[in-house]
Chain A
């Protein structure tokens, strides 16, 4: 089917040794055959680099469908909720006004891995997307330890179908408003509905359905038991000081609510569970943005360049590809008003390229900083780095002084009690370690999101729930706290208190949400 690619495979000559010839056809409009041809060539190249991927499923979609996918957090199916409608409306608005181009691709962590190719893309763009999504992201999904541990790619689509049907069923049975209210409350707590350390059970539609009825009945019994029997236990323990429930603070607020909220209906518990599972599914993605995008960018760059060296790609193709590539990895310079956040594509791409450089041509400095990897086989090292880290540890481990100098990194300390901010480190010998630690911390979700845990339940009194926020670096909670607390109260059914505790353990601020009507 593809003469050029076959030729390389068959004659075994190092393609870069010969002048580029016999390139793949490159009109700007794509056809199914051409996508197939390119995909085959990219696949061959990726195999040469030993990229391990799930099977690929490429889907051609329209811009409107892309916006649909955007609106449902990139998933092909998702339950209905007004917030996705809002998302859709704002996406559509910016797209129609031309303020925003749509992303070239969306890729779904599923097995087979689904990549969306937008119909508007030119052929070089489609090839770029295939290399980026279907080989870059795909191999990341399959290899990275967080994804291996937390998500089950083979069953996610099934589970989402189950969730969508279940929620539609609930809407029919209990009314759209009631379901929407429950979902709103769950969404408010979504970021606090993940197990950060424990491994969740795998999702599967068939099992979920089979287990649901049983679970609902069982849980309701459990909860009733909790409230019925606890006072008795408490009186037994009376001498040992006041009984605490839960015994240990709980980080997964949604899980705690699902299992223990006294007044939730069985279907509401199931809704809480669904939101929790979806949050858990996205948890690895939130922790590996730099790594994931960097990996995909590194590979589309490497694969397409290799293909060019093999004489498969025309110069025109490369110009268009490189233009898109440079847009993607563009790190905007600091603006007038303040500092710019990192572009995860830029940082990730630079880091993987830098690791390769350290492996292939290390300097003395690299040997001092990275004795283990300097001069090693770059493919193995990169593969290791991709598999075993998340953004925080990846930056902490692999950000090199070379890169810090290149990005001209510096860190700024903003202390509320000071009138001005202070530059705490710059890209020099005394600053490298500090910068690296600070940047790693910046990608630590535990640092980015406030640490709020279920602290206690007043089981003998008014059943109020107390949450505790432990301040990180004395940072207070934002303005929406009281609103979120109302949502917690709606799910819990009784009074909810949130205490903000500073470093010394004393309560600095308290919010109270009354029990819902």
Chain B
């Protein structure tokens, strides 16, 4: 009757998940808005994290009938210092009674602030990619059916007989036998020495020898009960299963950095790449990014240089495509990698080059790629646009759009990767 202590720690964590989901669902509109703002405001390195979402307090409030300020009310409060009856006190600012026991001040002390909460990284992504799916995904290569690889991970005390590690087990048994028998063995040696001495000494009484012999006998019997191998000695090889990254993706960011690409245009392009990158990290266990910038010639650069270096000069788009082909051949065999391409440009190109670009894409690149997206961050339609447009009609996994302002990015992105079948 007295007590039962129940250990609940392992049962039912996250009981509130259902409630949290309901909450998020209710404020879906605000959350989406916050996610959209976050995406346009973040760096590519920071994008992979949660986000604070702010909902105005009045929207999350649960109204109840309550007293407003006004009328007559009396408070009893502790801590009188020097008031006497009849003293007049100025009303504290902020109206009401300054939270004087009427239960009107908000219990969490947050007052009229907005309700701010953090969307976890997963939730953030969930909202972001809500109804998107990668086109032409090969299901078997996705994490849904991960491949496992078993790997050694030390030794354990239990396991199946085929995993017994004999050397370790015997070593343990030996240690145990020494530890358990050491003291008795020492006594045994002592007694045997005494017995030998007693036998040498002619004055020894026979019953003394008999007593010694008996003690020796007892010790020997005791020692023989220490088992040679005990279940606790057994050691098994421990094997753990680790997921094998089955799907790898590489994303090529190709951008024109010629003089005509100003900061604003680069910024738009960058956001486009961020979105694609995020999308890929969600679908692939490993996603590499290759940044290729080009003007009249192309370089592979790091992210910082990609977005921040200023170059001048003309534009030859095919140089970048050629470099892309080289890199794929060298480092990303298409049998192992899912290759995605994203290209941003303002549409300028050296006149003769556009046709060459189209051919390279069509013959050398697109066959290796899962998807290639081209965005033009300026309005006009020059030769590159028209060549690409012709290509887009023939090839299904090539898409192109124009983006004019940062606000267009999100819808354009969704449009590019619209769930198949919903178009």
- On A, residues with C-beta under 8 Å from B are 32, 35-36, 39-40, 43, 55-62, 64-65, 67-68, 71-72, 80-90, 93-94, 112, 116, 119, 176, 180, 184, 187-192, 331, 333-334, 337-342, 407-416, 420-428, 430-431, 435, 438-439, 441-442, 448-450, 452, 469, 471-481, 483-484, 487
Contacts and interface: CB of A to CB of B under 8 A. Distances in A.
Given A339-B98, A420-B89, A475-B72, A408 B61 contact: no
B93 A411 contact: no
Interface of B: 1-9, 12-16, 18-26, 60-81, 83-94, 97-105, 108, 110, 115-118
Per DSSP, are chain A's interface residues mostly helix, strand or loop, or mixed? mixed
Nearest to B52: A93
Contacts of B6: 57-60
Contacts of A55: 1
A53 to B, nearest CB: 11
B5 A32 contact: yes
Contacts of A86: 23, 60, 115
A448 B80 contact: no
Given A188-B63, A431-B85, A90 B74 contact: no
A67 B13 CA distance: 10
B80 A409 contact: yes
Given A59-B5, A89-B117, A420 B90 contact: yes
Given A58-B5, A339-B97, A341-B101, 18 more contacts: A56-B2, A68-B15, A83-B23, A85-B20, A86-B60, A89-B20, A339-B100, A407-B79, A409-B80, A410-B80, A412-B89, A426-B83, A427-B80, A449-B65, A469-B65, A476-B67, A476-B68, A478-B67
A25 B90 CA distance: 56
B13 to A, nearest CB: 6
A57 B79 CA distance: 40
28 contacts: A43-B2, A56-B2, A58-B3, A62-B13, A65-B12, A65-B15, A81-B19, A83-B19, A86-B23, A90-B115, A176-B25, A190-B64, A338-B94, A341-B101, A410-B77, A412-B77, A420-B89, A420-B91, A421-B88, A422-B86, A422-B89, A423-B89, A424-B74, A426-B83, A441-B74, A442-B76, A474-B70, A481-B65
Given A333-B79, A410-B80, A414-B72, A450 B1 contact: no
B9 A475 contact: no
A337 B63 contact: no
Main secondary structure of the interface of B (DSSP, over half): loop
Contacts of B60: 86
Given A65-B8, A420-B89, A424-B85, A338 B117 contact: no
A65 B9 contact: yes
B64 A412 contact: no
A60 B4 CA distance: 11
Contacts of B89: 412, 420-423
Given A337-B92, A339-B100, A423 B64 contact: no
Smallest CB-CB A-B distances: 8 pairs? A338-B98, A85-B23, A475-B71, A85-B19, A480-B63, A483-B63, A338-B92, A478-B68
Contacts of A93: 116-118
B103 A416 contact: no
A474 B66 CA distance: 13
A475 B70 contact: yes
B201 to A, nearest CB: 53
A88 B77 contact: no
A483 B103 CA distance: 20
B75 A416 contact: no
A85 B16 contact: yes
B74 A423 contact: no
A293 to B, nearest CB: 15
A56 B2 CA distance: 7
B8 A61 contact: yes
A88 B98 contact: no
Given A57-B6, A71-B16, A473-B71, A187 B22 contact: no
A36 B5 contact: yes
